[in-house]
Chains A and B, each alone.
Chain A
């Protein structure tokens, strides 16, 4: 078994910088304010960033009942990624549990990616929490790799919450750079990537590829005794390809310090770009996302005709006042039309939520999708059990058809938001603006800081706008609730129907710090003589029916 020949100059990996914010879901939840007031969050698990000063408030982010990210304090208590939710709560009872939300993570990451535009225009978002760009130009401009790392870390640091530090590193290829960003050192010298990676487990390369066949190959390799990347690199490339197919080849390339596919430094095919002029200008992100689906469908059809799939897509929006924002999105499996729409939405939401000086001042007039990197389509196998199935696709198609018939606003899906009342806890989002095939489990559970929320059971009917009603006491006067949360008299009649039982009142004084959005309400539940039960709210001296327990 002869060691593989050293890579020739033509296939050497391009030097790249990778910046990682460890446990981005946790940081995103904190930025978005979904973690309780005491929830300080730190990324204290990367060795070279120094200890995060988080004393209290461990946070755990879960998806499908499994931990996907945990704050430093939670990790210190023994919480690891992949743990069951219950077990994580058992190990760290104080942890605030937040449900993973890709939209929140994408939206909150956008300002960071935008900040890096000042360093280089070629920033690509690998996923929220991780960016990469080729360093050839920027490194020379800023005076070497170490200086560039310092600069990028400074730019990101200024925009991250205190206590969270990014990991930044330069190496040959994004995989080596990503490993170095997580564990150090900041700079891996040219040609030293293979040696740097030699002791790392093969599984890390499989995770970088995010391919199931690569994970399978990893477990077979482990049983054959090949656990470290150095051992894999020592195997002859043709033999690895013969035994493990394309996944093995990619793993082997990574192990040798090469990029599976180099980051594109030249424009792939400018003639493939599609754009749409919007007249009148669009100022709503969901409407824009709806247009993006149609545009992405068009792009996919053109690419599919040539047997190609887009790995990296540039999304560019331009407003009526000439403000422009461009972002590159990468997905190893190719981006579907609805995935494109979702990223357009993240990008716009992030822009709108960003610093006031950079916010757009007019509606969007141009939306351009530019496939920056395309590769041959190898086809996609739909899942037989679970995963992406034909049924899901069929349902998504039918919904798109209905949306075309009735308008994008008529077909909505639920997204969980924070709140206390039945209408506050769920927001309706146009189905066209989300990736229906890849939605996370949304369940309005006991997450978030919402003391005073209605416990289950919740009203089964919730009128879109609360209906005004009259709630009177036995003597005919309107029932009032004083500042101490007691009623003037027990309710006796709702309209003309007698009240037979009641519960409450529960005062809720929300957003008292914001005069425009402050609301003071008191809620009661009443059971009427006809057997129906209702949730009523008193606001400004007027009773409303917020929901019915039908």
Chain B
């Protein structure tokens, strides 16, 4: 009736401590493991943020502006940003996109021998790293970077450049069509107007949670240098029919004389 000790209980399976630790780890949602991103670009990314530990590649016309717009919100929220190997990055444009210049550091292209050490040191301690590789990255170097990146939970953005990465990024953003607005055709002698904004079509694909292809059309840069949504929906209630109409701002593109710089300054 009672346990006499003869019925030997089945020995409990031995669980390695590491597995136990993994199971007991506090649960965080994927959305919490992401750096903030501006609401305009959020539809391009899984969970509407930059996944921590991920590598992002940007390609196509407007890739630099895309990279800046992508990391601007994280920078504004307090993350440090390091730019490696892109001495020609326009810092005025970066500030207009929303980067906090007081937390932005530009690192000159390191010599090949020190490249992976420098990038790894930055990835270890700076949350957002923008890298333009000037040569072929060895697979071992990339694995090392990935380990550092995962551990630190930062984001590595690959700027387009001559270098070759052995593996595809986790998220790949490619702008497929760009058209500028504000300049006049070349048959006019007065050159009225100025470049105001660019309409950009961006396609996103990737691995894992980012696998579903996404597509977004937006103004990048918008009139103030920051990205702007194509259809501006006012916060007040809008008749549902207007949502399908073409954006009224598109028609009013080139105004007569445009704004001369002297008047703006």
Contact = CB atoms under 8 A, between A and B. Distances in A.
Interface of A: 386, 391-392, 394-395, 397-399, 401-402, 405-406, 409-414, 416, 420, 422, 425-426, 428, 431, 439-444, 446, 450-464, 474, 486-487, 489-492, 499-506, 524-527, 530-533, 547, 549-550
Interface string B179-199: 110111111111111111110
Interface in B209-239: 221-225
A160 to B, nearest CB: 30
A504 B189 CA distance: 10
B118 A406 contact: yes
B48 interface: no
Nearest to B258: A503
Nearest to A461: B88
B262 A452 contact: yes
Contact of A490 (B88, B103, B111, B191): B191
B195 A444 contact: no
14 contacts: A398-B122, A414-B106, A439-B102, A453-B265, A457-B198, A457-B223, A462-B91, A492-B186, A501-B185, A506-B262, A524-B191, A525-B194, A550-B62, A550-B65
Contacts of A413: 101-102, 104-106
B221 A457 contact: yes
Contacts of A491: 186
Interface string B226-261: 000000000000000000000000000000001111
Contact of B87 (A441, A464, A531, A533): A464
B262 A402 contact: no
A502 B91 contact: no
Given A457-B93, A490-B191, A547-B90, A431 B105 contact: yes
Interface string B55-75: 000000111110010000000
A412 B183 CA distance: 35
Given A386-B78, A414-B101, A500 B186 contact: yes
A398 B61 CA distance: 33
B126 A395 contact: yes
Contacts of A391: 78, 80, 125, 127
Contacts of A411: 105-108
A308 B107 CA distance: 35
Interface string B78-108: 1010100001111111111000111111111
Interface of B: 61-65, 68, 78, 80, 82, 87-96, 100-108, 110-111, 114, 117-118, 121-122, 124-127, 177-180, 182-198, 221-225, 258-262, 264-265
A502 B261 contact: no
A452 B180 CA distance: 22
A455 B93 contact: no
Nearest to A413: B105
Contact of A455 (B63, B102, B261): B261
A504 B191 contact: yes
B93 A450 contact: no
A459 B90 contact: yes
Given A402-B118, A456-B225, A458-B225, 15 more contacts: A402-B121, A405-B114, A406-B111, A439-B102, A446-B265, A452-B262, A453-B264, A457-B222, A458-B93, A461-B64, A461-B88, A503-B183, A503-B195, A506-B261, A531-B180
Nearest to B195: A525
A362 B48 CA distance: 57
Contacts, number: 211
Contact of A503 (B105, B127, B194): B194
A455 B260 CA distance: 10
A456 B97 CA distance: 10
Contacts of B260: 506
B91 A426 contact: yes
B180 A549 contact: yes
A414 B223 CA distance: 23
A426 B92 contact: yes
B172 to A, nearest CB: 18
A410 B259 contact: no
A370 to B, nearest CB: 31
B264 to A, nearest CB: 5
Contacts of B78: 386, 391
Nearest to B63: A550
Contacts of A422: 90, 92-93
Contacts of B105: 399, 411-413, 431
B125 A527 contact: no
Interface pairs A-B: 4 shortest CB-CB = A398-B125, A457-B221, A456-B225, A501-B183
A503 B260 CA distance: 10
B121 A490 contact: no
B224 to A, nearest CB: 5
Contact of A460 (B89, B180, B182, B223): B89
B224 A456 contact: yes
Nearest to A446: B265
Contacts of B192: 503
A394 B121 CA distance: 11
Contacts of A531: 61, 177-180
Given A451-B262, A452-B261, A460-B64, A401 B96 contact: no
Q: Which of A457, A458, A501 has the most CB of B within 10 A?
A: A457
A422 B68 CA distance: 16
A549 B195 contact: yes
Given A489-B189, A503-B195, A527-B180, A457 B225 contact: yes
A414 B91 contact: yes
Nearest to B196: A457
Contact of A452 (B125, B224, B259, B265): B265
Nearest to A488: B189
Contacts of A455: 194, 259, 261, 264-265
B259 to A, nearest CB: 7
A500 B61 contact: no
